[in-house]
A = this chain, B = another copy of it.
């Protein structure tokens, strides 16, 4: 389990970005306009998320589209389950 992963998740703006990407893939601009900080600052957060492999990108003409890398989230859940027994299978369904 990479250190950059947990550091990436430690910031609330980045977690919010991830939740936005849960709904649908979005361009950097679409993401940035959801936050009161500078576009360049959001771009920095996107870079952190990408370095942690939590998101992936694809160029679409002028735009760059971001999407969640769900594989990594599965690894996160496994990390907690295996080490801390943090969730039983049945209970999680109703959460």
Contacts and interface: CB of A to CB of B under 8 A. Distances in A.
A72 to B, nearest CB: 8
Main SS of the interface on chain A? helix
Contacts of A9: 6, 9-10
Contacts of A70: 84-86
Interface string A1-29: 00100110110100100110010000000
A89 interface: yes
A22 B83 contact: yes
20 contacts: A3-B12, A6-B10, A9-B10, A10-B10, A18-B83, A18-B84, A19-B83, A22-B84, A68-B84, A70-B84, A70-B85, A70-B86, A73-B80, A74-B86, A77-B81, A77-B86, A78-B92, A78-B95, A81-B87, A89-B93
